[in-house]
Amino acid sequence: MKVERVVIGKQYETCDNYEEFKRIVNLKKINVNTVEAGNKISIENGLYFIVLWPSSTNMISDNAINNNSLVVKLIYKNFSMLFTGDIEEIAEKAILSKYAGKNEILKSDILKVAHHGSKTSSTKEFISAVEPQYAVIGVGKDNKFGHPADETIKMLQERNVKIYRTDFFGEIWIRANAISIQMNGFLDSS
Protein backbone atom coordinates (compact mmCIF):
# COMPACT_ATOMS: atom_id res chain seq x y z
CA MET A 1 0.00 0.00 0.00
CA LYS A 2 1.38 3.39 -0.96
CA VAL A 3 1.15 6.04 1.74
CA GLU A 4 0.35 9.42 0.24
CA ARG A 5 -0.16 11.51 3.35
CA VAL A 6 0.65 11.39 7.07
CA VAL A 7 -1.18 13.59 9.56
CA ILE A 8 0.59 14.49 12.81
CA GLY A 9 0.02 16.85 15.71
CA LYS A 10 2.42 19.68 16.50
CA GLN A 11 3.62 17.90 19.64
CA TYR A 12 5.40 15.28 17.54
CA GLU A 13 7.86 17.89 16.30
CA THR A 14 9.51 17.66 19.74
CA CYS A 15 9.75 13.83 19.84
CA ASP A 16 13.14 12.12 19.91
CA ASN A 17 12.59 10.34 16.60
CA TYR A 18 11.11 13.29 14.69
CA GLU A 19 14.24 13.91 12.59
CA GLU A 20 14.31 10.25 11.52
CA PHE A 21 10.59 10.47 10.71
CA LYS A 22 11.22 13.56 8.54
CA ARG A 23 14.07 11.82 6.75
CA ILE A 24 11.89 8.81 5.88
CA VAL A 25 8.85 10.79 4.69
CA ASN A 26 11.10 13.02 2.57
CA LEU A 27 12.84 9.99 1.08
CA LYS A 28 9.50 8.36 0.22
CA LYS A 29 7.98 11.67 -0.93
CA ILE A 30 5.07 11.44 1.51
CA ASN A 31 3.11 14.60 2.29
CA VAL A 32 2.97 15.49 5.99
CA ASN A 33 0.17 17.61 7.41
CA THR A 34 0.75 19.06 10.89
CA VAL A 35 -2.64 19.75 12.47
CA GLU A 36 -4.32 20.95 15.64
CA ALA A 37 -7.84 21.22 17.03
CA GLY A 38 -10.20 22.94 14.63
CA ASN A 39 -8.50 21.76 11.44
CA LYS A 40 -10.56 19.91 8.83
CA ILE A 41 -8.94 17.30 6.60
CA SER A 42 -10.89 16.53 3.43
CA ILE A 43 -10.31 13.07 2.00
CA GLU A 44 -12.73 12.58 -0.92
CA ASN A 45 -16.41 12.55 -1.91
CA GLY A 46 -17.63 14.21 1.29
CA LEU A 47 -15.45 12.10 3.61
CA TYR A 48 -13.47 14.22 6.04
CA PHE A 49 -11.85 14.40 9.48
CA ILE A 50 -12.22 17.14 12.05
CA VAL A 51 -9.32 17.45 14.51
CA LEU A 52 -10.72 17.84 18.04
CA TRP A 53 -7.55 17.60 20.13
CA PRO A 54 -5.00 18.95 20.95
CA SER A 55 -4.67 22.60 20.14
CA SER A 56 -1.38 24.41 20.51
CA THR A 57 -2.86 26.30 23.48
CA ASN A 58 -4.25 23.21 25.27
CA MET A 59 -1.24 20.89 25.45
CA ILE A 60 -1.02 18.61 28.50
CA SER A 61 2.38 18.16 30.14
CA ASP A 62 1.40 15.07 32.21
CA ASN A 63 2.20 11.97 30.10
CA ALA A 64 2.36 14.30 27.09
CA ILE A 65 2.82 11.70 24.35
CA ASN A 66 -0.41 9.90 25.28
CA ASN A 67 -2.49 12.87 26.38
CA ASN A 68 -1.62 14.97 23.35
CA SER A 69 -2.52 12.19 20.92
CA LEU A 70 -4.57 13.39 18.00
CA VAL A 71 -8.29 12.97 18.57
CA VAL A 72 -10.13 13.14 15.27
CA LYS A 73 -13.69 12.59 14.18
CA LEU A 74 -14.26 10.93 10.81
CA ILE A 75 -17.47 12.06 9.16
CA TYR A 76 -19.22 10.75 6.05
CA LYS A 77 -22.83 11.79 5.51
CA ASN A 78 -24.73 10.56 8.61
CA PHE A 79 -21.89 8.31 9.82
CA SER A 80 -19.17 9.27 12.28
CA MET A 81 -16.30 7.60 14.11
CA LEU A 82 -14.18 9.07 16.88
CA PHE A 83 -10.48 8.12 16.98
CA THR A 84 -8.96 8.82 20.39
CA GLY A 85 -5.34 7.72 20.15
CA ASP A 86 -3.81 7.01 23.56
CA ILE A 87 -5.48 9.80 25.53
CA GLU A 88 -6.09 9.20 29.22
CA GLU A 89 -8.54 10.56 31.78
CA ILE A 90 -6.86 13.98 32.06
CA ALA A 91 -7.18 14.58 28.30
CA GLU A 92 -10.74 13.23 28.22
CA LYS A 93 -11.71 15.74 30.91
CA ALA A 94 -10.01 18.56 29.00
CA ILE A 95 -11.86 17.56 25.81
CA LEU A 96 -15.18 17.40 27.67
CA SER A 97 -14.49 20.88 29.05
CA LYS A 98 -13.48 22.25 25.64
CA TYR A 99 -16.66 20.96 23.99
CA ALA A 100 -19.06 21.44 26.92
CA GLY A 101 -22.57 22.08 25.62
CA LYS A 102 -21.59 20.89 22.13
CA ASN A 103 -22.54 17.21 22.45
CA GLU A 104 -22.96 16.75 18.69
CA ILE A 105 -19.23 17.29 18.24
CA LEU A 106 -18.26 14.26 20.35
CA LYS A 107 -21.28 12.03 19.66
CA SER A 108 -20.20 9.28 17.24
CA ASP A 109 -21.54 5.98 15.91
CA ILE A 110 -18.24 4.19 16.53
CA LEU A 111 -15.58 4.91 19.15
CA LYS A 112 -12.00 3.73 18.75
CA VAL A 113 -11.47 3.20 22.47
CA ALA A 114 -8.52 5.17 23.84
CA HIS A 115 -5.25 3.61 24.99
CA HIS A 116 -6.18 0.00 24.12
CA GLY A 117 -9.04 0.08 26.64
CA SER A 118 -6.71 0.69 29.57
CA LYS A 119 -8.11 1.64 32.98
CA THR A 120 -6.49 5.08 32.63
CA SER A 121 -8.88 5.98 29.80
CA SER A 122 -12.55 5.73 28.82
CA THR A 123 -14.19 7.49 31.72
CA LYS A 124 -17.95 7.12 32.14
CA GLU A 125 -18.37 10.82 31.41
CA PHE A 126 -16.43 10.61 28.16
CA ILE A 127 -18.25 7.48 26.93
CA SER A 128 -21.58 9.06 27.87
CA ALA A 129 -20.74 12.15 25.80
CA VAL A 130 -19.71 10.08 22.76
CA GLU A 131 -22.74 7.72 22.99
CA PRO A 132 -21.24 5.10 20.65
CA GLN A 133 -23.23 2.19 19.25
CA TYR A 134 -19.98 0.32 18.62
CA ALA A 135 -16.54 0.33 20.20
CA VAL A 136 -13.30 -0.84 18.58
CA ILE A 137 -10.44 -1.79 20.89
CA GLY A 138 -7.04 -2.26 19.27
CA VAL A 139 -5.21 -4.70 21.53
CA GLY A 140 -2.77 -7.58 21.20
CA LYS A 141 -3.74 -11.03 22.37
CA ASP A 142 -2.43 -11.88 25.86
CA ASN A 143 -0.57 -8.55 26.05
CA LYS A 144 1.63 -7.93 29.10
CA PHE A 145 -0.38 -4.85 30.13
CA GLY A 146 -3.63 -6.76 30.56
CA HIS A 147 -5.48 -4.47 28.13
CA PRO A 148 -8.33 -3.95 27.86
CA ALA A 149 -9.25 -3.38 31.49
CA ASP A 150 -12.24 -5.31 32.83
CA GLU A 151 -13.73 -2.01 34.05
CA THR A 152 -13.64 -0.58 30.53
CA ILE A 153 -15.40 -3.62 29.04
CA LYS A 154 -18.03 -3.63 31.80
CA MET A 155 -18.73 0.08 31.41
CA LEU A 156 -19.21 -0.28 27.63
CA GLN A 157 -21.45 -3.33 28.12
CA GLU A 158 -23.59 -1.45 30.67
CA ARG A 159 -24.27 1.11 27.92
CA ASN A 160 -25.17 -1.63 25.39
CA VAL A 161 -22.19 -0.76 23.20
CA LYS A 162 -21.23 -3.57 20.80
CA ILE A 163 -17.52 -4.26 21.31
CA TYR A 164 -15.05 -5.35 18.63
CA ARG A 165 -11.58 -6.26 19.89
CA THR A 166 -8.62 -6.98 17.65
CA ASP A 167 -7.41 -9.74 20.00
CA PHE A 168 -10.70 -11.60 19.37
CA PHE A 169 -11.65 -10.47 15.85
CA GLY A 170 -8.30 -9.68 14.22
CA GLU A 171 -8.69 -7.05 11.49
CA ILE A 172 -11.91 -5.14 11.89
CA TRP A 173 -13.67 -4.01 8.75
CA ILE A 174 -16.24 -1.26 8.89
CA ARG A 175 -18.64 -0.43 6.08
CA ALA A 176 -20.98 2.46 6.55
CA ASN A 177 -23.35 4.45 4.43
CA ALA A 178 -26.20 6.84 5.13
CA ILE A 179 -28.44 3.96 6.22
CA SER A 180 -26.42 1.28 7.99
CA ILE A 181 -23.16 0.22 9.61
CA GLN A 182 -21.67 -3.24 9.04
CA MET A 183 -18.73 -4.50 11.07
CA ASN A 184 -16.79 -7.71 10.52
CA GLY A 185 -13.64 -9.24 11.89
CA PHE A 186 -11.03 -11.24 10.04
CA LEU A 187 -8.67 -13.28 12.18
CA ASP A 188 -5.71 -14.80 10.34
CA SER A 189 -5.02 -18.11 12.06
CA SER A 190 -1.61 -18.64 10.46
Looking at residue 183, what is its pLDDT? 87
Q: Where in the chain is the domain with CATH 3.60.15.10?
A: 36-186
Backbone CA torsion sign across 16, 166, 90, 5: positive
Looking at residue 28, what is its pLDDT? 95
Regions of the chain short of the pLDDT cut 70: 62-63, 146, 188-190
CATH 3.60.15.10 for the 36-186 domain, yes or no: yes
Looking at residue 162, what is its pLDDT? 95
Looking at residue 51, what is its pLDDT? 96
Looking at residue 82, what is its pLDDT? 98
Query: How high is the mean pLDDT of the chain?
Result: 89
Looking at residue 186, what is its pLDDT? 80
132 Cβ contact list (under 8 Å, min separation 6) = 82, 108, 109, 110, 111, 161
Looking at residue 19, what is its pLDDT? 93
In 32-182, which ranges are continuous DSSP H helix? 64-67, 89-98, 103-106, 124-130, 150-158, 166-169
Instruction: Give every strand in the sheet of 110-112, ordered side by side.
Output: 40-44, 47-53, 71-76, 79-83, 110-112, 134-137, 162-165
Looking at residue 189, what is its pLDDT? 60
Phi, psi of 25 (to 5 degrees): -65, -35
pLDDT digits (tens, 9 = 90+) for 36-65: 999 999 998 889 999 999 987 777 776 677
CA–CA gap between residue 57 and residue 102 (Å, rounded)? 20
Looking at residue 11, what is its pLDDT? 79
